Amino acid sequence: MLPRTAVLFDIDGTLLDFHGAGRKSFVQALEQMFGWRDEITYIHFHGNTDLNVLRQIFAAHGAELTAAKQRDFFAALAMELNQLAAEAPSTCHPGVAGLLQALAADPRVALGIVTGNIESTAHIKLHRAGLRHFFRHGGYSDEHADRADIARQALGRLRADLPPGTDFSAVWLIGDTPSDIAAAHAVGARCLAVATGRSTIPELHAAGADAVFPTLADTAAVLHALGLI
Ligand SMILES: [Mg+2]
């Protein structure tokens, strides 16, 4: 059976919580690469993308972000997160493992990642949470600052596995912020929003989510909302 439904997952706040290790790795990589001691308290990570964060930091420092600096910083970021990950607790949000198992076992479903992380740190976070094996494809922030472009990249990679001339009949993005909802709608997808991040259920409704859940714990209810049962 061919996959008919693409289900794309955001990582932070949706699948897992890395308890500040992502922010800490940014702070440490900034000092290591550029000698900047900056706690980046002016940066909001929720719903943001790593490339956009880096651009915001360079703008705050009045510095020019070259392609080489971007590449070198992202390499340092992955090294810092890898070290922190050895000790940092990583918590899967309720129901995540059960939902992913159900979706992965469904031949109608193609799973993907749409995250503001760069690919290397996304993989570190997923691996640490025991979720890496669920995802072959994704869209990441290495080249894209706009989450809609990241969603486009992920969908393009998932579609490359489909027979030529065919397409998904439904695309869902599961995320925890208004940025996920906007990115989903920008690429013609629907958004199932989950309030396990910073955004509340009313905020996610107000941002136009197509479905809102307090957590992903009720697998049957989520599968029903996705049109799979
Ligand atoms: Mg998120």
The 10s digit of each residue's pLDDT in 52-74 is 999 999 999 999 999 999 999 99
Distance 181 CA to ligand 1 centre (A): 11
Distance 14 CA to ligand 1 centre (A): 6
pLDDT at 153: 98
Distance 198 CA to ligand 1 centre (A): 9
Level-2 CATH architecture, domain 5-18+90-225: 3-Layer(aba) Sandwich (3.40)
pLDDT at 188: 98
Over residues 72-94, the mean pLDDT reads 94
Distance 207 CA to ligand 1 centre (A): 14
Q: Which of 176, 200, 187 is CA-nearest to residue 47?
A: 176
Q: Is 66 exposed, middle or buried (0-12, 13-18, 19+ CB in 10 A)?
A: exposed
The 10s digit of each residue's pLDDT in 113-161 is 999 999 999 999 999 999 999 999 999 999 999 999 999 999 999 999 9
The 10s digit of each residue's pLDDT in 175-213 is 999 999 999 999 999 999 999 999 999 999 999 999 999
Tell me if residue 10 falls in helix, strand or coil. coil
Tell me if residue 111 falls in helix, strand or coil. strand
Distance 19 CA to ligand 1 centre (A): 13
pLDDT at 89: 82
Distance 164 CA to ligand 1 centre (A): 32
